[in-house]
């Protein structure tokens, strides 16, 4: 079966518009049964100042309710290339979501947050295609794990899931394996890596619905055109800047590290002066 590559925003949006697929995607990663889900794509414009081009980007916010009655907000972000600018955008976007109240049954509430990042590049230190970063409650006095949870703590901290599509293999055993298989970056049938041949057996209904949607996106001319437009926009940005944007980002990182080093040095000097005063 030919399917579209879901790492593109427009394809992922089309996929997550289906309630069953959204429940399958989020529930499989979180290992929870999702009772209700509402996914809202958040569209914004990224403007590259060096090339004077504006490119639309999509982030996704899902408000979910689990079978156990827990409600939370799930932030889903796709990043196809490693880019310091987007790393800071993730942080700022997360901060904005922590500041926002949500409306549930006409009441303002503060929901716990879980983040899902789908990365089109590899984290050198992490080999797994799917990483779960979770929190543990630890009694720091007695050095023991606590089984209870606090609503206060849950709303100030969050779990995170990171999918590295470049590390997804041909493994097709568990439900999670099967979900990740649609993001596998192999068996492409075009040079642009927009469509690929899905070779695995589709053996349950959630996968059938998901791959049917991706098949439509990968074979419908109008849908394919949207993917090509998204791809070409970012390619143009990179080509016109000639790598200059990346060099500027590296310079900004170096400056930030230098500022951090100066701050540490100032602290050391302050501590030294304090000790001199105490000796006097």
- Reported as a single tens digit per residue, the pLDDT across 167-196 is 999 999 999 999 999 999 999 999 889 999
Please check the confidence at residue 85 and state whether its pLDDT lies above 70: no
Q: Which of 6-10, 78-82, 262-266 has the highest mean pLDDT?
A: 6-10
Residue whose entry in the numeric block shows the structure tokens 């649609």: 182
pLDDT confidence band for 270 (50 / 70 / 90): confident
How far from chain centre, in Å, is Cα 158?
14
Structure tokens at 279: 């000796």
pLDDT, residue 266, reads 82
Please check the confidence at residue 254 and state whether its pLDDT lies above 90: no
pLDDT, residue 252, reads 57
pLDDT, residue 82, reads 66
pLDDT, residue 128, reads 96
Please check the confidence at residue 250 and state whether its pLDDT lies above 90: no
- How many Cβ atoms are within 10 Å of 194's Cβ, its own excluded? 19
State pTM to two decimals.
0.78
Q: 145: part of which helix (H) or strand (E)?
A: strand 144-145
Nearest to 138 by CA among 163, 118, 162, 157: 157
Mean pLDDT of 156-172: 95
Nearest to 51 by CA among 241, 248, 250: 241
Share of the chain above pLDDT 90, in %: 52
pLDDT, residue 4, reads 96
Please check the confidence at residue 9 and state whether its pLDDT lies above 70: yes
pLDDT, residue 54, reads 47
pLDDT, residue 55, reads 45
pLDDT confidence band for 240 (50 / 70 / 90): low
Mean pLDDT of 244-261: 65
pLDDT, residue 271, reads 86
Please check the confidence at residue 230 and state whether its pLDDT lies above 50: yes
pLDDT confidence band for 105 (50 / 70 / 90): confident
- How many Cβ atoms are within 10 Å of 87's Cβ, its own excluded? 13
Mean pLDDT of 239-248: 55
Q: What is the mean pLDDT of the chain?
A: 85
Residue 133 to residue 94: CA distance in whole angstroms: 16
Residue 40 to residue 49: CA distance in whole angstroms: 28
Q: 259: part of which helix (H) or strand (E)?
A: helix 244-279
Residues 6+ apart with CB under 8 A from 64: 26, 34, 35, 36, 37, 38, 71, 72, 73, 74
pLDDT in tens, 16-58: 999 999 999 999 999 999 999 988 876 654 544 444 444 445 6
Residue whose entry in the numeric block shows the structure tokens 């800047």: 241
């Amino acid at each position: 079966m030919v399917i579209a590559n879901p790492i593109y925003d427009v394809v992922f949006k089309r996929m997550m518009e289906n309630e069953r697929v959204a429940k399958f995607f989020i529930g499989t990663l979180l290992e929870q049964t999702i009772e209700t889900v509402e996914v809202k794509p958040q569209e914004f414009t990224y403007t590259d100042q060096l090339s004077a081009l504006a490119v639309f980007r999509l982030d996704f916010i899902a408000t979910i309710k689990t079978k156990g009655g827990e409600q939370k907000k799930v932030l889903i972000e796709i990043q196809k290339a490693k880019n310091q600018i987007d790393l800071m955008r993730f942080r700022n976007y997360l901060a904005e979501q922590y500041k926002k109240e949500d409306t549930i049954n006409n009441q303002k509430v503060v929901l716990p947050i879980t983040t899902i990042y789908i990365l089109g590049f590899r984290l050198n230190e992490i080999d797994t295609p799917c990483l779960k970063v979770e929190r543990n409650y630890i009694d720091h006095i007695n050095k023991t794990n606590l089984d209870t949870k606090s609503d206060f703590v849950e709303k100030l901290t969050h779990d995170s899931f990171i999918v590295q599509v470049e590390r997804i293999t041909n493994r097709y055993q568990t439900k999670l394996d099967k979900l990740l298989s649609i993001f596998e970056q192999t068996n492409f049938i075009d040079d642009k890596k927009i469509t690929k041949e899905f070779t695995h057996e589709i053996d349950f209904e959630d996968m059938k619905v998901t791959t049917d949607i991706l098949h439509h996106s990968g074979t419908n001319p109008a849908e394919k055109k949207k993917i090509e437009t998204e791809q070409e926009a970012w390619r143009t940005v990179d080509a016109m800047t000639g790598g200059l944007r990346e060099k500027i980002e590296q310079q900004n990182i170096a400056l930030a590290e230098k500022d951090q080093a100066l701050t540490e040095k100032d602290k050391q000097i302050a501590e030294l002066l304090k000790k001199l005063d105490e000796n006097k």
